[in-house]
């Protein structure tokens, strides 16, 4: 056993193989820093080079990339308030306020250090369990997976913001969005307006970017200044490491949660950070700082999301079942170099498995060091006027969005969800609750139906299912106990008591109409496909009605349902900038993405950022050049518009 483990290490430690790993780590670092782009985009970049490579080098390169992304994606979550990838959405909630307070260094070093420990934890779990994991993974059938989705949904109680009814309604809204597309039980298409695009459902990356990144971007633009008003980094490097060391059990528990959820195929890593975050909330005595810059809210998701990768490798290697989108591409890479995952990975090909584990551990270590080394430089971005950064962010976010299906509909969906996110943020409807509902929606429906089909309603009495049910009850209790204590995921409540209730009531009314529509659309289907939309629609409508009743009683009696961030705003709100974004979209529909982007850059930099011509043209050229390099290495054709429909233009205008 030991000789196989050490043999795999020496196998890996040749200059050539380490060089390939460093290549993977470097690409992962860059891709992770760019908001919205994660493991899927990074691995797609490397995939064309895999063929014909030495298998160990290829594995080291791919794993190097996978390992570093949950570490490097922290940069944009903490410094920009934009999730670097779907793995670190929860980090934004407390990481960004810390950066705005001038404690960016502390947040980053705590995040990196926690990430590294989480990564090591994942590698250790993988080492220890690769021989014994098969029966454990087999324990989780549809019944247990359904219970896990319930457990995930129970975190809504903790994440619902200041008002539980609003939290439940937000989660139902997310659940309803998640149901767009084919119903799991019958394959009927729901709420898809008969379009091919929506028949696949709205892609997760688009919902994540739209709901979190765009509203943040518009509001930062309003401020007119830079992100960090003071010294962006501060001197908290040591403090951050100390913070992690002060919370050893939190780090270990969250790493454990990450590795376990990652290892169970079917739930997906995209809720791990939220589960860890709400766990941190439930186990902290004083929750008053959550959402305002609580360091435990950074440590928890960051230790969990790196551990997830180690866990996710288990089903990928042992069963050939990818636990996440990036694992699916990793699997394709393995097949291309002639390795077929399966039981042999814990037996005949055990050396390959240990090569992968070592790569994971080493890449986590190297990745953390690189991130720390690069941090001061990258952090300088937060001192730059945001008007100069915003067009780059819009470029990267829309580029990341249209990675989803590579069509112009991705951009439309992005901006549509973005506007929804803007309202949710403004009126204090919990966006984390929305996202959790969205991610778990199809899973909950699918596994409930399958569990009942496989074992009847007795499925609830299966032992593992009972254990998860107990945990769910515990999480609900802990979450509800805290929900009274004013934990606001959407900003300070005290400044958001409006005197005019009209905008809020109008939005609440709109939500009520939406839930009514969900019920009607649901009823168009056969019983099995109608059940979930009708239940979710009714639940959502009930919660919204409750909110509406409170809000209708006037500004003061509305209590916690009264929340409007624009209550004391004196400017035009984010709308001028939304107009810019929509203008960019309209231009894309007209002349195609690339040309529209160049025009948008010039116009935005001249008008909003008030740059001189030289600076404008230089920045535009840099942006276009960067985009062209990325697109040509991914063999992408940009989404076209009317112009492209009528004329056959050369790439990149094609």
Partner 1 sequence: MTIIGRRGLLGAAALGAALPARAQAPVDFAGRTIEFVIPFAEAGGSDVWARFLAPFLSRHLPGRPTVIIRNVPGGGSITGANDWAARARPDGSSIFGSSASTQLPFLLGDRRVRYDFAKWTPLIVSPTGGVVYVSSRTGISRTDQVAQLRGKELVFPSQGATGLDIVPILALHMLGLNVRYVFGMRGRGDARLALERGDASIDHQTTPAWLTQVVPMVQSGAAVPLFSYGVQDDDGKIVRDPSFPEIPTFEEVYKAMHGRDPAGQEYEAYLACSVAAFAGQKPAVLPKETPAPIIAAFRKAFQDAVADPELIARRGDILGDYRQAVGPAADRLYATATTIAPEAREWVRTFLTQNHNARF
Cβ at position 347, least distance to partner 1 in Å = 9
> Which of 340/484 has CB closer to partner 1?
340
Distance CA 290, CA 227 (A): 20
If one asks whether residue 138 binds partner 1 (CB under 8 A), the answer comes out as yes
Q: Who contacts 372 (Cβ-Cβ below 8 Å, separation ≥6)?
A: 109, 112
Q: Give the chain's largest Cα–Cα span.
A: 73
Instruction: Return the beta strands (E) in 139-192 as ranges.
Output: 181-182, 189-190
The verdict on 190 binding partner 1 (CB under 8 A) reads no
Instruction: Name the CA radius of gyration of the chain, rounded.
Output: 24
Cβ neighbourhood burial of 170 (10 Å; 0-12, 13-18, 19+): buried
Burial (CB < 10 A; 0-12, 13-18, 19+), residue 187, is exposed
Residue 454 interacts with partner 1 (CB under 8 A): yes or no:
yes
Stretch that binds partner 1, among 352-360, 447-455, 539-547, 592-600 (CB under 8 A): 447-455
Phi, psi of 189 (to 5 degrees): -90, 130
Instruction: List the one residue from 230, 246, 380, 406 that touches partner 1 (CB under 8 A).
Output: 406
Q: Which one of 208-216, 251-259, 326-334, 381-389 is the stretch in contact with partner 1 (CB under 8 A)? A: 326-334
Total residues at interface with partner 1 (CB under 8 A): 55
User: Applying CB under 8 A, does 142 fall inside the site for partner 1?
Assistant: yes
What secondary structure does DSSP assign to 532-591, as a single string?
A: HHHHHHHHHHHHHHHHHHHHHT-TTTTGGG---TTTT--S-TTHHHHHHHHHHHHHHHHH
**Residue 320 or 516 with smaller CB distance to partner 1:** 320
What's the CA gap between 149 and 7, in Å, rounded?
40
Measured CA to CA, the distance from residue 560 to residue 547 in angstroms comes to 9
Whole-number minimum distance, CB 348 to partner 1, in Å?
11
Residue 295 contacts residue 94 (beta carbons within 8 Å):
yes
Question: 570: which residues sit within 8 A by CB, 6+ positions away?
Answer: none
**In contact, 320 and 120? CB cutoff 8 Å:** no
Residue 400 binding partner 1, by CB under 8 A: no
Binding mask 191-230 for partner 1 (x = CB under 8 A): -----xx-xx------------------------------
| Pick 186 or 239: Cβ nearer partner 1 | 186
Does 604 participate in binding partner 1 (rule CB under 8 A)?
no
Least distance in Å: CB of 477 to partner 1? Answer: 31
461 counts as binding partner 1 under rule CB under 8 A: no
Contact between 407 and partner 1 (CB under 8 A)?
yes
Fill in the per-residue mask, 538 to 577: x = in contact with partner 1 (CB under 8 A), - = not in contact.
Answer: ----------------------------------------
635 sits near partner 1 (criterion: CB under 8 A): yes
Shortest CA distance to 234 belongs to which of 130, 121, 110, 124? 110
Q: Is 55 an interacting residue with respect to partner 1 (CB under 8 A)?
A: no
The answer to the question of residue 43 lying near partner 1 (CB under 8 A) is yes
188, 423, 516, 539: which one contacts partner 1 (CB under 8 A)? 188
Instruction: Pick from 14, 26, 127, 186 the residue near partner 1 by CB under 8 A.
Output: 186
Q: How far is the CB of 337 from partner 1 (least distance, A)?
A: 10
Establish if 335 lies at the interface with partner 1 (CB under 8 A): yes
State the Cα–Cα distance between residues 570 and 214, nearest whole angstrom: 21
Kindly tell me which of 92 and 185 has the beta carbon lying closer to partner 1: 185
Q: Could you tell me the smallest distance in angstroms from the CB atom of residue 201 to partner 1?
A: 11
Q: Applying CB under 8 A, which of residues 44, 324, 430, 475 lies at the interface with partner 1?
A: 44
CA 381 to centroid of chain Cα atoms: 22
Nearest to 26 by CA among 70, 58, 72: 72
Q: Which of 9, 22, 53, 344 binds partner 1 (CB under 8 A)?
A: 344
User: Is-cis flag, bond preceding 270, omega within 30?
Assistant: no
Kind of pairing between the strands at 189-190 and 181-182: antiparallel
For position 141 contacting partner 1 by CB under 8 A, the verdict is: yes
* Contact set for partner 1, span 57-116 (CB under 8 A): none
- Site for partner 1, rule CB under 8 A: 40, 43-44, 47-48, 50-52, 137-138, 141-142, 182, 184-188, 196-197, 199-200, 265-266, 319-322, 328-329, 331-332, 335-336, 338, 340-344, 405-407, 446, 449-450, 453-455, 526, 528, 635, 637, 646, 648
């Amino acid at each position: 056993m030991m000789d196989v483990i050490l043999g795999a290490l020496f196998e890996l430690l040749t200059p050539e193989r380490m060089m390939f790993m460093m290549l993977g780590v470097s690409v992962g670092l860059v891709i992770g820093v760019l908001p919205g782009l994660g493991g899927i985009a990074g691995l797609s970049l490397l995939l064309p080079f895999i063929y014909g490579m030495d298998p160990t080098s290829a594995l080291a390169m791919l794993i190097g990339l996978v390992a570093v992304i949950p570490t490097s994606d922290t940069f944009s979550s903490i410094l920009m308030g934009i999730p670097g990838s779907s793995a670190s959405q929860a980090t934004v909630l407390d990481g960004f306020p810390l950066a705005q307070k001038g404690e960016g260094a502390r947040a980053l070093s705590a995040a990196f250090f926690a990430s590294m420990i989480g990564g090591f934890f994942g590698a250790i779990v993988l080492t220890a369990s690769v021989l014994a994991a098969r029966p454990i993974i087999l324990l989780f059938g549809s019944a247990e997976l359904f219970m896990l989705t319930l457990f995930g949904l129970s975190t809504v109680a903790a994440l619902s913001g200041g008002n539980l009814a609003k939290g439940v309604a937000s989660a139902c809204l997310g659940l309803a969005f998640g149901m767009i597309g084919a119903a799991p039980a019958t394959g009927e298409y729901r709420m898809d307006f008969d379009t091919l695009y929506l028949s696949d459902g709205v892609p997760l990356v688009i919902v994540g970017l739209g709901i979190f990144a765009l509203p943040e971007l518009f509001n930062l633009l309003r401020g007119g200044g830079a992100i960090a008003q003071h010294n962006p980094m501060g001197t908290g490097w040591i403090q951050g490491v100390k913070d992690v060391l002060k919370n050893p059990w939190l780090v270990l528990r969250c790493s454990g949660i990450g590795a376990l959820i990652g290892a169970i195929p079917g739930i997906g890593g995209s809720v791990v950070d939220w589960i860890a975050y709400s766990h941190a909330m439930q186990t902290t005595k004083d929750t008053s700082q959550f959402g305002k810059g609580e360091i435990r809210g950074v440590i928890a998701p960051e230790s969990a999301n790196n551990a997830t990768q180690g866990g996710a490798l288990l089903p990928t290697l042992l069963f050939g079942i990818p636990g996440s989108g990036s694992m699916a591409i990793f699997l394709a890479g393995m097949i291309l170099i002639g390795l077929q995952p399966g039981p042999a990975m814990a037996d005949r090909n055990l050396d390959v498995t240990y090569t992968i584990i070592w790569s994971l551990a080493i890449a986590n270590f190297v990745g953390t060091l690189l991130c720390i080394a690069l941090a001061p430089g990258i952090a300088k971005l937060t001192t730059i006027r945001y008007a100069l950064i915003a067009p780059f962010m819009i470029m990267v976010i829309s580029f990341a969005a249209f990675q989803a299906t590579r069509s112009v509909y991705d951009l439309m969906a992005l901006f549509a969800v973005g506007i929804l996110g803007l309202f949710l943020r403004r009126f204090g409807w919990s966006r984390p609750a929305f996202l959790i509902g969205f991610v778990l929606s199809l899973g909950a429906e699918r596994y409930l139906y399958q569990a009942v089909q496989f074992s009847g309603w007795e499925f609830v009495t299966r032992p593992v299912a009972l254990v998860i049910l107990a945990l769910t009850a515990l999480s609900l209790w802990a979450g509800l106990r805290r929900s009274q204590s004013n934990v606001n995921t959407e900003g300070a409540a005290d400044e958001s008591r409006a005197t005019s209730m009209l905008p809020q009531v109008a939005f609440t009314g709109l939500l009520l109409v939406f839930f009514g529509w969900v019920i009607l659309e649901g009823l168009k289907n056969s019983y099995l496909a109608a059940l979930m939309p009708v239940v979710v629609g009714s639940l959502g409508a009930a919660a919204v009605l409750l909110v509406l009743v409170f809000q209708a009683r006037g500004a003061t009696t509305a209590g916690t349902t009264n929340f409007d961030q624009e209550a004391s705003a004196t400017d035009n709100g984010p709308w001028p900038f939304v107009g810019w974004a929509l203008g960019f979209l309209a231009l894309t529909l007209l002349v195609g993405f690339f040309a529209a982007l160049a025009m948008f850059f010039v116009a935005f930099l001249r008008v909003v950022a008030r740059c001189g011509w030289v600076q404008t043209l230089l920045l535009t050229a840099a942006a276009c050049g960067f985009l062209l390099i990325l697109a040509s290495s991914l063999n992408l054709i940009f989404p076209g518009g009317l112009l492209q429909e009528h004329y056959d233009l050369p790439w990149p205008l094609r």
